[in-house]
Structure 1
Amino acid sequence: MFWGPSFYQEFTAEMVDAFTAAVPEVDVSLQPSEWDGYWDKLATQVAGGAPPDVINMDGKYIAEYSGRDVLADLESLPSLDLSALDPSDLDAGRVDGVLTGLSTGSNAWVIVANPELFDEAGVELPDDTTWTWEDFTEIAQRISDSGVATGVTGGASYADLTIFLRQKGEDLWAPDGMGCTAESLAQWYQLYLDLQESGATLSADAAVEDSAVALEQQAFSTGRSAMSWTWTNQLQSLRDALGSQDVVMLRPPSFAGHADENGLFKKATMYWSIAAASQNTEQAAKLVNFLVNDPDAQAIQLLNRGVPSSQDAIEAMGDALTDTDHDVVDFLEAITPELAGAPAIQPMGTADSQNTFTRLLSDVRFETATPAEAAEQTITEVNGMVTA
């Protein structure tokens, strides 16, 4: 069982066809779904005692399903070869030390910049290995002040919040709820308020409107802002929307001005898991092993489920990789030595927490709550979501 739009369903079916051609004694029944409705469908099957053997899992839910003993320990399955995978990819799928999800590949949450707008504004692109939050806000304000475009849009995600907190030696999550202090969370809310009040970003009304439209219609994608935040796997979509291949990825700024202290992390795009209650564990392990390790499977999937840590898998994609694909692979390779480990796993019950962050940041932007008030309310609400 897996989620994704129609083209995901098509290439996943091709991967499974390649598997059944190689391992004809195993029959595979596909249960594809769009993201909307996937988790309700999965929950119904699990509650009914008939989960799919192989489950497409997400970071928002892996602790919840692991904590309910729904997912098998993948390291206990001899048919699953984990030797080609980077330890950081394996760690991303561990819950309480048990590997219950196998990363399909990684993405990183980065700042994208439009060099053409920087040039028109007379502002140089920053050195992303040394720039600070002060540099970031100054650059954004200078671009806005030039009248060429808005300095920066987007962000306001759990991902840049995680990065911000990791720079302070904290984390977004702890086993019993949020892992940060209210003071640090308030500083993140204040950052967005300061950008707004300086004119470096959109007004509150415009920011809400921009976040509600499709990626291709947003301010950065239409050349109305010079910087934004995005996942690395969206680079091609942004370049296509702008009609320019010059869009570049930048590491996040930091307090210290050092790349190895910027809190950046590689996120598992999604996971393959196996049901602990499966009656076909060995066959399921063979399928997952094929999806993750087989060159034929990688040549079909390409980077649609993230950049795999296995160099053999990347090489198997060959000439099918675009220039943008190579840019993303090279970027992730460059940042890997700088990373300080995976963020804490999101605890059970908090899958909807992003809605809380978004709503309370909106309250800050519209000045119906101070950053400190929003931070306290966020921690109260999100901690109240946690289930044992």
Structure 2
Amino acid sequence: MLTAPHSPVRSLGHGSAISRHRCPSSLHPRPFPGVLRVGPTGTRRPASSRPGRRTVLAGGLASSLLLAACGPSASQAETSNAVSFTFWGPAFYQDFTAQMVEAFTAQAPEAEVSLQPSEWDGYWDKLATQVAGGTPPDVINMDGKYIAEYGGRGVLADLESLPDLDLSGLDPADLDAGRVDGVLTGVSTGSNAWVVVGNPAVFEQAGVDLPDDTTWTWEDFHALARSISESGVATGTTGGASYADLTIYLRQKGEDLWGPDGMGCTPESLAEWYQLYLDLQESGATLGPDAAVEDSAVALEQQAFSTGRSAMSWTWTNQLQSVRDAVGSQDVVMLRPPSLAGAAAENGLFKKASMFWSVAARSENQALAAQLVNFLVNAPEAQAIQLLNRGVPSNPEAIEAMGDKLTETDRDVVDFLTAITPELAEAPAVQPMGTADSQNTFTRLLTEVRFGTMSPMEAAEATIAEVDGMVQG
């Protein structure tokens, strides 16, 4: 198995599973080649030996588009047994994904898979260009922000109509996360959850006990953070203010962040969420506005929680090892979010699909594409290579296949997600087309509230108007 240095990475706002101790210190240490073609070598090469006999490199986006322009998909111009496969991620993702594909082609020697990796920042522009040109890859790495964009336009196949894809081992909630208008357009690679993290050492120094996360309320959260700040040891809490904790808060009120035509919440509930962060700030339980903006802009290892200057923060479960590494302690704990009712089963927590595998509706080799996706999702060999880098699979057999390759932190994450599963209600609504940049709206208008230039209700009304205006029919 290929590994990477143990070093922290910046948390990704979109919740992707690029994470933890397997990441290099930078998410983008080197550019990806435009196309990496993997054939049935039957062996796994160490990273230092790539490219090898069966590996063909082409330079950048232009080469990918040139190949795409040659036929219905980039690889099919060369052979009917070829599929193109695009995904995003840093350099080590290229390495372990190539190993997974090599394991697939070892079992399917007639298959030739053309890998088209990219970094997150350029991935969506590249994919949009390919789709607009009528040359989408056969297998597409999809994200929750965009699945309605592509699924709603008919770009993605109905996965339940593909006989070569076995979905029987997946949790129904994971399957529902990939449905657009009732059609399964993406199969989850695994799940994460948005949680509070606490540093027991800072709690102890402040003379404050860790909370019971199955019963604490938002009032408890606020009082706890204020007590820590008043101790002079550290700030009580930092971070958060994500669409994820906004979704959690709204679900506690019986609402949802998204509806079919835009935001699914009332202005009053959204204003309460803005008010919550303003109250934390005004009581001293969290950082002031200038310091909060600065803290959100620096690398993970420089943030207040990582440097022991705050006791609590928020993160995705798959980022736990990165957080522990940044803090320098394996004792950092995950806590369920607070709730209005003081009950874990009513806290609105949800499992987010880290990312999805989709198949192009226009693929002329859907059978082979489905076989590849089936291998990525179900094959023990694939899971033993990928581990938890794309989230925690809902299939227990997939986790069992990872065996002793899982670290202590990996086990903590698996145990946490297993524990919360019985408490979860239905999955949140799918994000509508056109709203991929909505997090920037939430962040910007919350900043206005924090600096006192808008009231929570003014910000809420402006948020709904702006985000609803993004929606495309």
Tell me how far 1:20 sits from its aligned partner.
0.6
CA displacement 1:108-163 (0-9 Å, x = unmatched): 00000000000110111010000000000000000000011110000000000000
Tell me how far 1:243 sits from its aligned partner.
1.2
Inter-partner Cα distance in structure 2 for 1:192 and 1:14: 45
Alignment counterpart, residue 93 of structure 1, candidates 163, 175, 178: 178
Determine the structure 2 residue equivalent to 1:377. 462
Whose radius of gyration is greater, 1 or 2?
2
Inter-partner Cα distance in structure 1 for 2:386 and 2:212: 33
Determine the structure 2 residue equivalent to 1:61. 146
Determine the structure 1 residue equivalent to 2:110. 25
Inter-partner Cα distance in structure 2 for 1:127 and 1:242: 22
1:293 matches 2:368:
no
1:34-45 alignment, distance < 5 Å: 34-45=119-130
1:113 matches 2:198:
yes
Determine the structure 1 residue equivalent to 2:288. 203
Determine the structure 2 residue equivalent to 1:245. 330
TM-score by length of 2: 0.82
Tell me how far 1:323 sits from its aligned partner.
0.4
CA displacement 1:246-294 (0-9 Å, x = unmatched): 0000000000000000000000000000000001100000000000000
CA displacement 1:61-108 (0-9 Å, x = unmatched): 000101100000000000000011011110110111110000000000
1:134 matches 2:219:
yes
How many residue pairs get aligned? The number is 388
Percent sequence identity over aligned pairs: 81
1:59 partner letter: G
1:319 matches 2:404:
yes
Tell me how far 1:302 sits from its aligned partner.
0.2
Inter-partner Cα distance in structure 2 for 1:191 and 1:264: 18
Structure 1 consecutive aligned stretches of length 4 or more whose deviation exceeds 2 Å: none
TM-score by length of 1: 1.00
**Could you say what secondary structure the match of 1:340 adopts?**
coil
Determine the structure 2 residue equivalent to 1:235. 320
Inter-partner Cα distance in structure 2 for 1:340 and 1:159: 15
CA displacement 1:217-238 (0-9 Å, x = unmatched): 2111111110001000010011
In structure 1, stretches of 5+ residues that fail to align are none
Determine the structure 1 residue equivalent to 2:239. 154
More helix by share: 1
Alpha-carbon RMSD: 0.5
1:73 matches 2:172:
no
Inter-partner Cα distance in structure 1 for 2:459 and 2:433: 23
Determine the structure 1 residue equivalent to 2:73. none
In structure 2, stretches of 5+ residues that fail to align are 1-85
**Could you say what secondary structure the match of 1:31 adopts?**
strand
Alignment counterpart, residue 332 of structure 1, candidates 417, 423, 427: 417
Tell me how far 1:214 sits from its aligned partner.
1.4
Inter-partner Cα distance in structure 1 for 2:301 and 2:329: 13
Q: Which has the higher contact order (CA 8 A, sep 6+)?
A: 1
CA displacement 1:177-204 (0-9 Å, x = unmatched): 0000000000000000000000000010
**Could you say what secondary structure the match of 2:193 adopts?**
strand
